[in-house]
Structure formats: C-alpha cells, structure tokens
Chain A
Amino acid sequence: MEVLSDAMLVKEVLDGSKDAFAELVRRYERPAIASALHVLGRHHSAEDAAQEAFVRAWRQLPKLSKPDAFGPWLLKIVRRCALDMADRKKADVSLDAAAGLPAHQGNGQLDDDNRQLLNLVMGLGKAERQVVLLRYFGGHSVRQVAVIAGRSVGTVTKQLSRAHQRLRSQIKE
C-alpha cells in the first residue's frame, strides 16, 4: 500500500482534513504508546498519555515549522504528556510500591526483557528512533518509512542498520 509523507498529511490537516489527522494517529499510535510506556511503565496509562498527546498535537499543529519533522515533534509531546501524567500519578505509584506490587509485570505491563529493549530503543538518536518505531511498531516497510519520514530509502536503510548494530551491542553489554 502506498503511503503519504508526514509533511503532506500535516498540510492536509492544516487545510481542514480530519481524515488526514486520523491517518497520522493510525501511523503513530503504537510509537506514541511505546514512547509513553517508556516513561510510565503501564500500558493503560501510556494509552491515556498518547491520546492526550495527539489532542495537544492537533491544537499545536499550526506552530510546527517543519511538517516533515512531525514524528519526532509528536514523540516529544508524548514524552511531555507522560511525564505530566507520571507527576500526577506519583501518589498511586508510591502506594503500589508500598503494597509490594512488582513493577512492570502482569497484564498491560512489559516483562523485563521487553522493558530493557524499549529503554534502549528510546535511548537511540531521534532519527534512528523514529525509523525503528515506524518500521517495527508502525509495521511499515523500509520504503514506506522513507516516504513517511521524507528521507531516501538508502538513508533509512543505513539508519535502521546502525540502530540494529547499536541495540545488538548494548544488549551484549
């Protein structure tokens, strides 16, 4: 399936297309939840934070000076929303800890291996992080990632390969 670049969708949104924004939400829902999950650790909270981030992104979209940077810009908003939510939920988390509940286990939480890998992914540089999130969490082909991010297929291939290498070496450590 052919895809439109983020920049094109952003322009359509600014011209009044809600379908275009829905497409951006579909495209980034998993990367956004993953990004929030990295901060919050709990899946349902991460979904809430990701939803809040999309609403904020919609309102702030006219301020986005580089439409092709939508992905990294959105993920920054997600992180901000997740941190705000973490502040609000600090009391709840403390109560969980006090009750001796194990962190990040059970329904809606990542196991240790996945949590560690997610931490490593979120620690990548923003260009590499975006291609990894789009490729694996968004389920797009390399070619589609290139169109979405407004980069060449060669650049995306190199960035993915570097990200794999980095993750592999960090996992070994």
Chain B
Amino acid sequence: MKNEKNIETRLEQLARAVRPDDSFVQSVMSRLETSSDTTQKPKPTFVRRLFMKPITKFAAAAAVVAVAVLIITQCNVVAPTFADVVGPLLNARTLIYDFVTGPEDGGTMMHDIVVESRIRRTISTMPTMTMIIDIDNANMLLLDSSQQKASYQDMRGPLHAGTQGFLDFIRTAIRKTQENSELSPHNLGTRQIDGRPAVGYQLGGGGESVIIWADTKTALPMRIELGLGLQRTTLKNFRFDVPVEAALVSMDVPDGYTVQESTIDLSDATEEDFIAGLKVWAELLLDGRFPDGITTDQYMKQVPLLEGAVVRLNIPEKEAEQMGMHFIKGMMFITLFEVNGHGRWHYAGSGVKLGDAATPIFWYRPKDAHHYRVIFGDLSVREMAYEDLVAIEPKAESVMP
C-alpha cells in the first residue's frame, strides 16, 4: 500500500465506501413477504430430534425453575432518593434488560422483555428454549424452537411465590418508602459504568443486599446488583419503553408449533429430591465427587452437560427423565429455599467423595427447629445440635449463626 495511515482510519474509510442503498432493509423484508417459504420453516432433522427426545422434559423443567431465580426477599431500607432513581422503572410500560446469575463474566445470562405482567425470558445455557411468563395468572408458555413444541406450565405454588416480577419489587420498595420515611439507603457515591458516570445506592446488607447504579444525568437505572446469600445476580443493559410486538409476550402458541401436555410436576421440591439430585451430579458429571458449589448458576450450567451424560448412558427414556428431574428438583429446592421458609443453608461438599460417611457436605436449620439437618458425603441425613455439628465440622461455627 502507498501510505501508512492509521489502520483504524483506513478501516473507517473502507466502511464508508461500502454504503448500502437506503432501501436495502426494506427490499430484503419485501422479498420475505413475497417468498412462499416464509411460513414453512424447515423442521428439525431426524438425528437432532432423536438426540433431543430423552432430555426434553428435564431441560424444560430447568427452564421452568430458572424463572424463580430472581427472588427478591424483604428489603426494608428505602428512601425517597431511591424512589426518584427507580421512577423510570415504575412508570415504564415495557422494560428490557439482561441479568447474569453468578460471576458476571461467565455466569448464566438471561434476557427479559417485560410488558406489564408478562415476561419473555431466554437463557444463554438453553438457547432453544423461550419462556413467556404470565405472572398475574401464574402460568407459563414454554417454547422449544428446536422441536417447534410448546407446553403450558402451571406455576401456582412456591414457583409463583419465588417469581416476583422485577417491577413488582420496585413498587414494593417504593410503598415501603411511603410507609416509613425514616428509612434511607446508603449512598455509594459515583463511579463510571460503561463510560458514563453513575450514582449508587445500597439497600440492605449482610446476606441480602441490593445495589442500584443510575445514570447521574438521566437518573435512569443502569445496573442493579442483587446479593442473596451466596447467590449473586447482576441486571444490566436496561431499555425503557421500547415498542414490543404483542406476539413476543403472547400466551398463544406460535404458528408451526405443536402443543404438548406438560407432565412436569414442579409443585414442590423436598430434601429427598435435593439429595437424589446431588447423587446424579456427583455420579454422572464428576466421577463420584461432589461439585464445588451448588448455586442456581452452577446448577444451570450443568443442564447441557447432564443432557449429554444421560444420552450417553443409553438407558430407557423414562429412567433418563427421572434422573434429570431429580437434578432439577434439587436445583428447585435450593432456588426456593428461603421462599419455603427453610432459612439459610451452607454447602461444604467441594471435592468430597460420594460415600464419605464422616464428612458433612450440607446443613441447614429448618424454620422454628432447634436442630440442624446435616447431609453427609454418603448422603445420609442426621439431625444434630449446633454443638455436635461444630464438634465434627469446626467450619460450621463461622458459617452459620
């Protein structure tokens, strides 16, 4: 080349030289309208359908449980300044945002489109699943684009209780402000977020906290960080009052999809389910050792791996489904732990071998109980007094009040 201009400038010049006709997008869309194929999308191939069949049910169940991941518990320290910041959220007719459970770089990413009491949710670890949640009617439409199948899921019960809409959370927070004007959030000052100055407010503390960062110029929320026990969730990329096509949050089944009756029972999840799920996790995915952690994010990341592991077992479909459902109900037990009034839990199973009868891997104290429920590496359960637990596991002293 003749000269040594800055490469970025050169690329910008090249890009300017590639200028599409103003009607390019319109021309493409017109061609789609006139194309006879637009309503006849190809069906999944036989191989793909065969691969998907045994795992569909529990992958769908994982998607259902995932809706409860954004649990907002009591938050009773809010103030008018905070209400100013959340005003746009309160008044927005539509709201779009992403949220990440677990570490922000590498956690499970979800994308929500909220229109009044409907949420359309997609999850990065389950790229073919879409959930339309009707919060008012405790109902969910689950769409699997890989098989063009749809099912309705009744969400009444703990799942519904754990699936508070984000806007509902804000409204609750503002109501509490009106009820108690002495409450005030902690002002965190300003920092740069995505190149823009943002002011932060922290509500709550200890095991439960909410931090809201808002644009200092527009007061629009830019980022919300939720901490609930070990669970970390970050909401970001907010967009307010973006026009949303009604079809995207419709509870009607889209054209081309066949409806399947849902046989997923997620009315409850018990300690037995949790234990059975841990066994599946250790045996199928970790060569007989327990996982490093059991947050919802860590569970969600295992779902695709579990799908592959179950298929490789080449066991009857019913049995494969049962294994998957144990795992998902275990995730549900943890996700809805506080909603179900179980209080706090602690997991200490990282690296412990399945069958180790001497090492406690998980303990919690059920509401109003005096003793702890302690699960050991051999998956036996004992009720133990605090002193007895500390005697065999000194760590318990520092991690459980």
Partner of B11, one of A14, A18, A37, A132: A132
Cβ-defined contact, B18 with A30, below 8 A: yes
User: Which chain A residue has the least Cβ–Cβ distance from B13?
Assistant: A114
Partner of A66, one of B10, B28, B127, B238: B127
Is A149 on the interface with B (CB-CB < 8 A)? Answer: no
Cβ-defined contact, B25 with A164, below 8 A: no
Cβ-defined contact, B111 with A4, below 8 A: yes
User: Which chain A residue has the least Cβ–Cβ distance from B257?
Assistant: A15
Q: Which of B20, B21, B24 has the most CB of A within 10 A?
A: B20
Cβ-defined contact, A47 with B122, below 8 A: no
Question: In the complex, which range does the number of interface residues on chain A fall in?
Answer: 35 or more
Q: Given A7-B127, A22-B29, A62-B145 in contact, is the A152-B15 Cβ separation under 8 Å?
A: no
Partner of A171, one of B1, B28, B29: B1
Cβ-defined contact, B238 with A2, below 8 A: yes
Segment touching B, from A75-83, A84-92, A93-101, A116-124? A116-124
Q: Complex Cα distance A5/B127, Å?
A: 12
Cβ-defined contact, A25 with B29, below 8 A: yes
Cβ-defined contact, B145 with A15, below 8 A: yes
Q: Which of B12, B15, B245 has the most CB of A within 10 A?
A: B15
Cβ-defined contact, A117 with B127, below 8 A: no
Segment touching A, from B36-44, B259-267, B359-367? B36-44
Cβ-defined contact, B7 with A164, below 8 A: yes
Q: Residues of A contacting B24 with CB < 8 Å?
A: 25, 29, 33, 47, 50-51
Contact with B along A20-57 (1 / 0, CB 8 A): 01100110011001100100000100010011001100
Cβ-defined contact, A117 with B28, below 8 A: no
Contact with B along A101-139 (1 / 0, CB 8 A): 000000000110110111001000000000010001101
Q: Complex Cα distance A5/B96, Å?
A: 13
Q: Complex Cα distance A171/B255, Å?
A: 52
Is B395 on the interface with A (CB-CB < 8 A)? Answer: no
Q: Complex Cα distance A19/B243, Å?
A: 11
Interface residue tally for chain B (C-beta within 8 Å)? 51
Q: Which of B2, B38, B111, B127 has the most CB of A within 10 A?
A: B127
Is B343 on the interface with A (CB-CB < 8 A)? Answer: no
Q: Residues of B contacting A5 with CB < 8 Å?
A: 111
Partner of B28, one of A19, A30, A51, A164: A51
Cβ-defined contact, B20 with A33, below 8 A: yes
Q: Complex Cα distance A25/B41, Å?
A: 18
Cβ-defined contact, A117 with B11, below 8 A: yes
Cβ-defined contact, B11 with A136, below 8 A: yes
Is B32 on the interface with A (CB-CB < 8 A)? Answer: yes
Q: Given A2-B239, A25-B25, A25-B29 in contact, is the A168-B145 Cβ separation under 8 Å?
A: no
Q: Given A7-B124, A114-B14, A117-B10 in contact, is the A17-B247 Cβ separation under 8 Å?
A: yes
Min C-beta distance of A94 to chain B, whole Å: 25
Q: Residues of B contacting A25 with CB < 8 Å?
A: 24-25, 28-29
User: Which chain A residue has the least Cβ–Cβ distance from B8?
Assistant: A164
Q: Residues of A contacting B31 with CB < 8 Å?
A: 51, 55
Q: Given A62-B41, A67-B127, A137-B18 in contact, is the A172-B4 Cβ separation under 8 Å?
A: yes
Q: Complex Cα distance A168/B8, Å?
A: 10
Q: Complex Cα distance A111/B13, Å?
A: 11
Cβ-defined contact, A114 with B17, below 8 A: yes
Partner of A15, one of B11, B127, B130, B194: B130
8 closest residue pairs by CB, A with B: A136-B11, A14-B145, A136-B15, A54-B28, A137-B15, A62-B41, A34-B18, A16-B254
Write 20 A-B pairs (CB below 8 A) sorted by A numbering. Answer: A7-B127, A8-B111, A11-B122, A15-B130, A15-B145, A15-B247, A19-B245, A22-B29, A58-B35, A61-B41, A62-B41, A62-B43, A63-B42, A114-B14, A114-B17, A117-B14, A132-B11, A136-B15, A143-B194, A171-B7
| Interface, chain A (partner B; CB < 8 A) | 2, 4-5, 7-8, 11-12, 14-19, 21-22, 25-26, 29-30, 33-34, 37, 43, 47, 50-51, 54-55, 58-63, 65-68, 110-111, 113-114, 116-118, 121, 132, 136-137, 139, 143, 147, 150, 152, 154, 164, 167-168, 171-172
| Interface, chain B (partner A; CB < 8 A) | 1-2, 4, 7-8, 10-15, 17-21, 24-25, 27-29, 31-32, 35, 37-38, 41-45, 48, 96, 105, 111, 122, 124, 127, 130, 143, 145, 148, 194, 237-239, 245, 247-248, 254-255
A19-B245, A58-B32, A61-B41 are known; give 6 further A-B pairs, CB within 8 A. A11-B127, A11-B130, A25-B24, A25-B28, A50-B20, A172-B4
